[in-house]
Amino acid sequence: MRKQVQRSEKTCWKFTVVLSPVYGAQHPPLDPRLTKNFIKERSKVNAVPLKNKKASSFHEFARNTSDAWDIGDDEEEDFSSPSFQTLNSKVALATAAQVLENHSKLRVKPERSQSTTSDVPASYKVIKSSSDAQLSRNSSDTCLRNPLHKQQSLPLRPIIPLVARISDQNASGAPPMTVREKTRLEKFRQLLSSHNTDLDELRKCSWPGVPREVRPVTWRLLSGYLPANTERRKLTLQRKREEYFGFIEQYYDSRNEEHHQDTYRQIHIDIPRTNPLIPLFQQPLVQEIFERILFIWAIRHPASGYVQGINDLVTPFFVVFLSEYVEEDVENFDVTNLSQDMLRSIEADSFWCMSKLLDGIQDNYTFAQPGIQKKVKALEELVSRIDGRFKGRRVLHCLPSDDPFQCTQPNSIFFASQSEPEGFSHFHLYVCAAFLIKWRKEILDEEDFQGLLMLLQNLPTIHWGNEEIGLLLAEAYRLKYMFADAPNHYRR
């Protein structure tokens, strides 16, 4: 039987529709409507005793939302309309130029303040060094996430492993620090050590990425976990870490009780297959840390509970906070070498930062994913304003997907998002739009839904480095600049 099989095509793509790339968030979410809804939703949930959602209610739900993810409008599309070369290209170019100029100004600015002291509080001073070379060596022979990806475009470039990408931005080349990088680092140190860290300024500086030396503390600050006031930081950390372990003491034993069994079982199934090829995540201690973080988060957020994919959000935080103590080869580091205290700090900080991140996007995970549906709608509108050829929801079904970003550099996206005042979920819209626009020709050339899915699941981004991400983000920034505050701009 096996011999008869014609293997004229071997394809398998990973496709994700549910989760948006959630490597960054602004906390608290600045959109007051969002916050209000969120609170409302929460209190509603608290009022209702947690009931077991079984398949019966699914059918009711299915009827009620039968149009929610409707793909029926695929057929109505009209791609034959004359090619709009859309945006006035002069406007576009001028804006792009301005963005670039602003950025270079930002980068030069620190030189003024070079002379000022750059001491970072001792507890945040983290120096890692030799990891670069190690990580880049790994990068040439490891293909982490998508072994099935078949990339033709840039076959010679290394695929940067996930952990390398998170723990060290410069993994691909590890060149010596340039003067510009040094002055940037100085600027960060100065900001971080000032009595009251200017978070807006820190956000601005973080736009092109946070130097790894100051990354852990910057992430803690920008996620809203650490206070801007230097004196309060130590106490806050201590208090929050104690609070987290208080939760553990109080709730963790309930994981085997009947009403939490489903949650715990699902987490327990998912943890061993989180980053399955990286030795770090196969260590029992690490897996236990992940299980505790996720379980506590889940039972404290009954509106969504644990949803597959949330486990992946712990990873970047865990790696960044671990990198505070580990100088090389994070992927193969044996965590039993760390003291109990260090491990507890990493665990608690990962929990709180992940919680802050999820606070802004929890409605992506609640029943029927209203957050994602809203985003799809917004994206649909935005993209059709940018380019009239994008019609219908066909393309957009594929978009609120974190997949393109798995192939890219989550840390960069994260930095950029953290540095946007409206926060991640807002800026993300423009990143998605920039993605679509980048491949608009290929997308519009696809004839059917399947072809489109294959294309979008398989965009050649696996070799993307900082440069490509930088360009994408600049484009997203440009789009936001042009469209965000001008709802009628280019409206068709």
Partner 1 sequence: MAETYDFLFKFLVIGSAGTGKSCLLHQFIENKFKQDSNHTIGVEFGSRVVNVGGKTVKLQIWDTAGQERFRSVTRSYYRGAAGALLVYDITSRETYNSLAAWLTDARTLASPNIVVILCGNKKDLDPEREVTFLEASRFAQENELMFLETSALTGENVEEAFLKCARTILNKIDSGELDPERMGSGIQYGDASLRQLRQPRSAQAVAPQPCGC
Host H or E run for residue 251? helix 230-251
Q: For residues 289-308, which are near partner 1 according to CB under 8 A?
A: 304-305, 307-308
Do 254 and 299 form a contact (C-beta atoms < 8 A)?
yes
Among 274, 315, 418, 466, binds partner 1 (CB under 8 A): 274
Q: For residues 373-432, which are near partner 1 according to CB under 8 A?
A: 401-402
Q: For residues 136-175, which are near partner 1 according to CB under 8 A?
A: 147-148
- Nearest of 196, 223, 154, 58 to residue 462 by alpha carbon: 154
Please state the length of the chain. 492
Q: Which is nearer to partner 1, 56 or 336 (CB)?
A: 56
Residue with tokens 């917004």: 378
Q: For residues 433-452, which are near partner 1 according to CB under 8 A?
A: 450
Could you tell me which stretch among 6-14, 153-161, 246-254, 423-431 binds partner 1 (CB under 8 A)?
A: 6-14
Q: How far is the CB of 12 from partner 1 (least distance, A)?
A: 4
| Cα–Cα distance, 447 to 459 (Å, whole number) | 17
Residue with tokens 């072809």: 451
Could you tell me which stretch among 21-29, 168-176, 274-282, 476-484 binds partner 1 (CB under 8 A)?
A: 274-282
Q: Which is nearer to partner 1, 189 or 394 (CB)?
A: 394
Residue with tokens 């410069």: 170
Would you count residue 10 as binding partner 1 (CB under 8 A)?
Answer: yes
Do 174 and 132 form a contact (C-beta atoms < 8 A)?
yes
| Cα–Cα distance, 248 to 243 (Å, whole number) | 9
CB atoms within 10 A of CB 368: 14
Residue with tokens 């994919």: 309
Q: For residues 85-124, which are near partner 1 according to CB under 8 A?
A: none
CB atoms within 10 A of CB 165: 25
- Mark 216-255 with x for binding to partner 1 (rule: CB under 8 A) and - for no binding: ----------------------------------------
Would you count residue 335 as binding partner 1 (CB under 8 A)?
Answer: no
Q: Which is nearer to partner 1, 11 or 488 (CB)?
A: 11
Among 281, 290, 321, 365, binds partner 1 (CB under 8 A): 365
Among 213, 270, 329, 387, binds partner 1 (CB under 8 A): 270
| Cα–Cα distance, 433 to 438 (Å, whole number) | 8
Would you count residue 454 as binding partner 1 (CB under 8 A)?
Answer: yes
Q: Which is nearer to partner 1, 16 or 113 (CB)?
A: 16
Burial class (CB in 10 A: 0-12, 13-18, 19+), 124: buried
Residue 211: HSE in the Cβ half-sphere, 13 Å Cα cutoff: 23
Among 19, 163, 322, 346, binds partner 1 (CB under 8 A): 19
Q: For residues 53-92, which are near partner 1 according to CB under 8 A?
A: 53-55, 58-59, 61-62, 65, 68-71
Contacts of 5 (CB under 8 A, 6+ apart): none
Could you tell me which stretch among 15-23, 31-39, 281-289, 333-341 binds partner 1 (CB under 8 A)?
A: 15-23
Beta bridge partners of 196: 229
Would you count residue 51 as binding partner 1 (CB under 8 A)?
Answer: no
Compute the radius of gyration of the chain from its Cα atoms.
Answer: 23
Q: Which is nearer to partner 1, 14 or 137 (CB)?
A: 14
Do 87 and 158 form a contact (C-beta atoms < 8 A)?
no
Q: Which is nearer to partner 1, 48 or 127 (CB)?
A: 48
Do 401 and 17 form a contact (C-beta atoms < 8 A)?
yes
- The contact set with partner 1 (CB under 8 A) reads 1-2, 4-19, 53-55, 58-59, 61-62, 65, 68-71, 147-148, 266, 269-270, 273-274, 276-277, 304-305, 307-309, 311, 365, 367-369, 401-402, 450, 453-454, 457
